[in-house]
Structure 1
């Protein structure tokens, strides 16, 4: 579900709008002078939620052979 808001609404209630975007995972299209100006969208999977070690393990699993080849060259 996407919502719309005026630029003045966003200026006045940015904290509330940001909370809705993050908790309800909705997009908000912001209008200025009755024209769409930009969107506020949630991030799909924040890196912080995955944890840095989990992310590092995933990168290592995908590129382990590349890292080994680079280590041999030095």
Structure 2
């Protein structure tokens, strides 16, 4: 059975949800206004052959503009 969570559940319990995703290697679909909005998925470094630091650098380079825009808003 697919796991789901509401947006408000994620806001309230993100740490517990992240722990579940990482420990059980499951995907969780997050719903907002009763519609699927996004998924939280585990990163599996062993299947891609990359280490966690390489994956982090890859995400950083792919989304640097987003991170910089978010930093300017704070």
TM-score range, shorter-chain basis?
Answer: 0.5 to 0.7
Q: Structure 2: how far apart are the matches of 1:30 and 1:47?
A: 27
**Corresponding pairs, count:** 50
- Tell me the alpha carbon deviations over residues 39-65 of structure 1, each in whole angstroms, 9 at most, x when there is no partner: 0000111613xx88xxxxxxxxxxxxx
Question: TM-score by structure 2 length?
Answer: 0.61
The ranges of structure 1 where at least 4 consecutive aligned residues each deviate by more than 2 angstroms after the TM superposition are none
Unaligned runs of 5+ in 1: 53-74
Residue 13 of structure 1, CA deviation: 0.3
Q: 1:47–1:2: structure 2 CA closer, same or farther, 3 Å change rule?
A: farther
Residue 29 of structure 1 corresponds to which residue in structure 2?
Answer: 29
Question: TM-score by structure 1 length?
Answer: 0.61
Larger Rg: 1
Unaligned runs of 5+ in 2: 55-74
Question: Does the residue aligned with 2:44 lie in a helix, a strand or coil?
Answer: coil
CA RMSD after TM alignment: 2.0
